[in-house]
Structure 1
Amino acid sequence: MESVPAYQPPPDPPHEPILTLPGALTAYVGLIALIHLRVLLPPEAENWTIDVFGFIPRRYDSNVLQVYFPGGAGAKVWTFVTYSLLHANLSHIFFNVLWLLPFGSALARRFGAVRFYVFMAVTAAAGALAHLVTHEHAIAPMIGASASVSGAMAAAIRFAFVRGSFLSFSRGDADAAARVPALSLLRALRNPRVLAFLAVWFGVNIIFGLGSISVGAEGASVAWQAHIGGFVAGLMLFSLFDPVPRTAAAASSRDI
């Protein structure tokens, strides 16, 4: 009689670590780093790139003495997005990328590359619009991805605290954690953890605004209104981009 080997269950499929960067986010960060090589240009050329691609509210002001800005009429359109790809220095890039590691990674996995890039552009434009409304005659250029980063954070909290997601205490691999059913906006705004996150986030930005705290380039203040514009847009528009069905989310998802 032959002995029958004991049953061996198949090995679990490999799980991707939570903080492994998805390709879409890696390419986004790489583009920002590549564009930052502009600092190697002569000062006149570097200043020209800021004037052409940075967001300058005065560019849209027709009620005061006209000031010439490079880029012409086209710059009035593309700078709503291109400003977000420019940064003052390496520390400016570092802090934006630091926040993108958890929130941007989860969002890029959930949305896929195309949705992720469009989302980042839309939240950048929302941040620029908020800055324009609150700095109508400002001539100082605004640069940095902070509005888009804020939008990514706001979108991610719609699913970040659901059981099994990337900020929950019970989670699996990165792809699964990024694709849990999201909370509706109303349910998210009733979730204690989401409310706590909102309170801290808005509190920090208001402190930056009221204190006129400067970071990054010398004398450059935080464009906190743009942060709020991007954040509100990300929170409100998340459902328009989200490809994960939420049909059973209200019944089956358990908040933690």
Structure 2
Amino acid sequence: MIRVLEPPRLAAHRREPLLNVPPVITVLAAAMLLIQLVRDWVDVETGIEILALFAFIPARYDPSVLADGVLPGGVAADAWTFITYAFLHGGWAHVGLNLLWMLAFGTPVARRFGVLRFLSFFAFTAAAGAGLHLVTHEGELVPMIGASAAVSGFMAAALRFMFADGGRAWRPGVAEQAVHAPAPPLMDVMRDRRVIGFVVVWFVINLAFGLGEPAGLVDGSIAWQAHMGGFLAGLLAFPLFDPIRRRPGSDSYSRTSRF
């Protein structure tokens, strides 16, 4: 059992964001697809070893459940599994669904953050999701896999700037402006009824899927707590990664250096 979670010129400009996927998204997608291909190709024993080494297993952090040395990787794996689990998936439907959501919500975030900030945000939200999963599944032996926590973080980050100005940023031709415009404060964002509706629906769907254990999408139950951990981390920590700053007393903005 696995837990998983203007004239023609203007028209051309409007199509550009839909046709150009940021390279960092392409690389992440290729890595996840390649890993899934490898897991399908190797024998069962090797597949179990991969899970033991790279999946997130709460029991790894509880010495009363597992003695030291039972799981491979030691202290290093205790750290890297907070992130590496996001590259493993429970099947092709699982990885495909996560990649579709990452394409939709990760693309504007990648354009805004740049490569290094985007990858750091991916790691941060994945780790936050694993952290909340650890708190709610202390000592559990069931491994958790999937990029859903990080994807949930991308959704939350996109809300911080794509719903600006009454949500018009989601319309074609306006999205690119929102990507490069300063984000409003969180309290202002949360006054938008569209944002409130999106967040409520998102939480309800995650609770329904997580508690209902829908069949057919993944082999195992859905780690909905990890989704929520990634979402909340992305929503609250967005300013720490955002390179665009509003100048005090002005509607103009400046872009900080990328890291």
Measure how far apart 1:165 and its partner are.
7.4
Any residues of structure 2 matched to 1:57-96 within 5 Å, and which?
57-64=58-65, 66=67, 68-96=70-98
CA offsets 1:166-219 (integer angstroms, 9 cap, x no match): 8533x427643422321211111111111010000011111123323345443x
SS in 1 for 2:47: helix
- For residues 245 and 95 of structure 1, what CA distance do their matches in structure 2 show? 33
Residues 169 and 177 in structure 2, CA contact (< 8 A), matched pair in contact too: no
Q: Is the 8 A contact 1:121 1:148 kept in 2?
A: yes
Aligned 8 A contact 2:59 2:66 in 1: no
For the aligned residue pairs, the C-alpha RMSD in angstroms reads 2.6
Higher relative CO (Cα under 8 Å, sequence separation at least 6) belongs to 2
Q: Deviations over 1:29-67 (max 9, x none)?
A: 111112222221121111111110000000000233527
> C-alpha separation between the residues in 2 aligned to 1:12 and 1:96?
31
Higher helix share: 2
* Aligned position for 1:17: 16
Determine if contact 2:93/2:218 at 8 Å carries over to the other structure.
no
Cα distance in 2 between the residues matched to 1:116 and 1:95: 20
In our comparison, the structure showing a higher alpha carbon Rg is 1
Partner of 1:3: none
Q: Which residue of 2 aligns with 1:189?
A: 190
Distance 1:55 1:191 in 2: 36
Number of aligned residue pairs: 242
Matches within 5 A, 1:51-62: 51-62=52-63
- Partner-residue secondary structure (3-state), 1:97: helix
What does residue range 125-144 of structure 1 map to in structure 2 within 5 Å?
Answer: 125-144=127-146
Flag the 1:90–1:45 CA change in 2: closer, same or farther, 3 A. Answer: same
CA distance in 1, matches of 2:56, 2:65: 18
TM-score by length of 2: 0.85
How far the C-alpha of 1:105 sits from its partner, in A, is 0.4
Please tell me whether residue 105 in structure 1 is matched to residue 104 in structure 2: no
Deviation at 1:245, TM superposition (A): 2.1
Mapped to 2, the partners of 1:89 and 1:73 lie a distance apart of 28
1:242 paired residue number: 242
Amino acid in the other structure paired with 1:122: F
Is 2:30 the counterpart of 1:30?
yes
Cα distance 1:249–1:194, how it changes in 2: closer, same or farther (>3 A)?
farther
Runs of 5+ consecutive residues of structure 1 not aligned to the other structure: 1-8
Q: Return the alpha-carbon distance in structure 2 between the equivalents of residues 55 and 153 of structure 1.
A: 22
User: Contact between 2:58 and 2:140, CA under 8 Å: does it hold in 1?
Assistant: yes
Distance 2:44 2:192 in 1: 49
Of stretches 54-63 and 35-44 in structure 1, the one that deviates more from structure 2 is: 35-44
Structure 1: distance between partners of 2:249 and 2:87? 35
Counterpart AA for 2:164: V
Rounded to whole Å, the distance in 2 between the matches of 1:121 and 1:193 is 28
The aligned residue for residue 232 of structure 2 is 232
Partner of 2:117: 115
